[in-house]
């Protein structure tokens, strides 16, 4: 006997679990299926984000930053911290506890919102009168049916051909977040978001890190001025980043890994490292979903093909998050999940792709929303730019962290904010103001005229807005 629901959500990452909760809030009978297992084989909802992504990486970034502060910056405050040691197993254990708390939190939220959770793999089995039949296999073995199905099956790390992940020496994000000790030498292929975040963690703890990037430009999606400033800071920290390389071979040896590549000058180089992180992007995951059983259309990358409203090619089938087009970000997945649940309920769900913020949680942090200066130039848009350095901000000086700047880009005629770019302390938090401003179509003058608390880092946002009109007050 199959169990009937209004909506079945496959996947309980940020896209799926949020969609399930919102659909339940709107009065629907909702099932959510997720196959992730914790180390005891129990359910671990939350997806990549909770288990091996956003949350655990930020836990390790925090621990390693404290370690670096204790070693390098406490003395500036008159604090003596001798023999500072890092117990890596304890740090990783703390991270695991945070992950478990988050898993349990989601199970609690399911209960609170009356979402029925099934632990196992969900696969399409056939089209039926009332919609779709989904087979769950695993800890739960059930047949479910629903008229509406939301696919939120996420993504997996992309492997380098010829260098499969073993999570011992060749690591994806999974292994990079679970090392039991600090490697003496660490190679990273790909200087994208994961490469920089995970490279920073292990560098702070003492590893000698070399990042090999295929493209000749550093962080091509980031505003050039901001990327340049960030690169300067990473160079100073000793994070070695080589651009424009071409990897030819990755070979596992008895002790570590050797990476043969041609450098930007075309010279053949071999890098020997204890561990290698491969972070060259992620691929949409539809493994085990059995899309052919119902004729679900995938593209050549394996992503579910959807329209701008996340509708797949089948009536009542939707897909959100990393498994569809667009940036692979947890908050993008969540927004799509909410919008789809609302559309199913007959409401007007809405996601504004122009105001999705990006954050790279390195030190300095990098954050942006909207278009970069190079994009505006390429689009032929006339703009005004204003920057303000954290060096001129009193709170940043008090914190002892004056790297970086805030940069505003506004329309030359209307003054509407077109992009805000930041590199520096806590810009992951500061960017929210810029997102709100852009969502409300604010001008740089609007931000310049708003009272910001003193002393605060956010005054740099106001000052950068003032800089658009060349009237900074503190610089």
Q: Which is nearer to ligand NAI, 87 or 235 (CB)?
A: 235
Contact set for ligand FAD, span 312-371 (CB under 6 A): 321-323, 328-331, 333, 361
Query: How far is Cα 399 from Cα 376, in angstroms, rounded to an integer?
Result: 34
Contact set for ligand FAD, span 31-50 (CB under 6 A): 33-36, 47-49
Alpha helices in 113-213 (DSSP H): 173-176, 193-204
Distances (CA, A) of 267 to 244, 260, 325: 11, 11, 37
Q: Which is nearer to ligand NAI, 145 or 169 (CB)?
A: 169
Residue 360: contacted member of ligand FAD, ligand NAI, none (CB under 5 to 8 Å, by partner type): ligand NAI
Considering only residues 360, 422, 423, 430, which one is a binding residue for ligand NAI as defined by CB under 6 A?
A: 360
CA atoms within 13 A on the CB side of 84: 19
Considering only residues 79, 215, 381, 436, which one is a binding residue for ligand NAI as defined by CB under 6 A?
A: 215
Closest CA to 314 of 468, 436, 194, 149: 149
194 lies in the binding site for ligand FAD (CB under 6 A): yes
Is residue 154 annotated as involved in ligand binding?
Answer: yes
Rg (CA), the chain: 24
Is residue 329 annotated as involved in ligand binding?
Answer: yes
Show Cβ contacts of residue 69 under 8 Å, excluding neighbours closer than 6 positions. none
Query: How far is Cα 50 from Cα 68, in angstroms, rounded to an integer?
Result: 25
214 lies in the binding site for ligand NAI (CB under 6 A): yes
Contact set for ligand FAD, span 399-458 (CB under 6 A): none
Contacts of range 314-319, beta carbons closer than 8 Å, 24 or more positions apart: 314/132, 316/131, 316/132, 316/147, 316/148, 316/149, 317/132, 317/148, 317/149, 317/151, 318/148, 318/149, 318/150, 318/151, 318/343, 318/344, 319/150, 319/151, 319/152
Total chain residues near ligand NAI (CB under 6 A): 24
Q: Which is nearer to ligand NAI, 12 or 212 (CB)?
A: 212
333 lies in the binding site for ligand NAI (CB under 6 A): no
Residue numbers annotated as active site: 454
Query: How far is Cα 251 from Cα 45, in angstroms, rounded to an integer?
Result: 35
Q: Which residues bind ligand FAD (CB under 6 A)?
A: 10-16, 33-36, 47-49, 53-54, 57, 121-123, 152-155, 173, 194, 285, 288-289, 321-323, 328-331, 333, 361
Could you list the residues known to form a binding site for NAD(+), using ranges. Answer: 190-197, 213, 281
State the residues that interact with ligand NAI by CB under 6 A: 160, 189-195, 197, 212-215, 247, 279-282, 327-329, 359-361
């Amino acid at each position: 006997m199959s169990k009937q629901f209004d909506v079945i959500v496959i996947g309980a990452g940020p896209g799926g679990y949020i969609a399930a909760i919102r659909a339940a809030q709107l009065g629907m009978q909702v099932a959510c299926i997720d196959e992730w297992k914790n180390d005891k084989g129990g359910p671990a909802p939350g997806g990549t984000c909770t288990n091996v992504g956003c949350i655990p990486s930020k836990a390790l970034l925090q621990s390693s930053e404290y370690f670096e502060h204790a070693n390098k910056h406490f003395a500036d405050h008159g604090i003596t911290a001798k023999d500072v040691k890092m117990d890596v197993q304890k740090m990783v254990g703390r991270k695991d506890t945070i992950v478990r708390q988050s898993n349990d939190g989601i199970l609690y939220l399911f209960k609170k919102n009356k979402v029925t959770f099934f632990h196992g793999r969900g696969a399409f089995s056939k089209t039926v009168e009332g919609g779709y039949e989904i087979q769950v296999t695993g800890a739960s073995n059930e047949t479910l049916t629903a008229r509406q199905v939301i696919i939120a099956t996420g993504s997996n790390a992309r492997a380098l051909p010829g260098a499969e992940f073993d999570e011992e020496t060749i690591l994806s994000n999974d292994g990079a977040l679970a090392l039991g000790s600090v490697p003496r030498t660490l190679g990273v292929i790909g200087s994208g978001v994961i490469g920089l975040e995970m490279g920073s963690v292990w560098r702070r703890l003492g590893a000698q890190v070399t990042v090999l990037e295929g493209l000749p430009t550093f962080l091509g999606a980031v505003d050039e001025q901001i990327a340049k400033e960030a690169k300067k800071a990473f160079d100073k920290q000793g994070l070695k980043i080589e651009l424009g390389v071409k990897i030819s071979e990755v070979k596992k040896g008895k002790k570590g890994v050797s990476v043969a590549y041609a450098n930007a000058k075309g010279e053949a180089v071999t890098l020997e490292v204890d561990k290698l992180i491969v972070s060259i992007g992620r691929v949409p995951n539809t493994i085990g979903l059995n899309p052919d059983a119902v004729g679900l259309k995938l593209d050549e990358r394996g992503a579910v093909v959807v329209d701008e409203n996340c509708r797949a090619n089948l009536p009542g089938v939707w897909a959100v998050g990393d498994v569809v087009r667009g940036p692979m970000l947890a908050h993008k997945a969540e927004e799509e999940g909410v919008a789809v649940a609302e559309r199913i309920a007959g409401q007007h769900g809405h996601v504004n792709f122009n105001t999705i913020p990006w954050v790279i949680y390195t030190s300095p942090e990098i954050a942006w929303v909207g278009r970069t200066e190079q994009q505006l130039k390429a689009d032929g848009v006339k703009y005004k730019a204003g920057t303000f350095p954290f060096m001129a901000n009193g709170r940043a000086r008090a914190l002892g962290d004056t790297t970086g700047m805030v940069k505003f880009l506004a329309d030359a005629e209307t003054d509407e904010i077109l992009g805000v770019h930041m590199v520096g302390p806590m810009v992951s938090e500061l960017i929210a103001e810029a997102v709100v401003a852009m969502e409300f179509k604010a001008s740089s003058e609007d931000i310049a005229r708003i009272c910001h608390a003193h002393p605060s880092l956010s005054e740099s946002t106001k000052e950068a807005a003032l800089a658009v009109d060349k009237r900074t007050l503190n610089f």
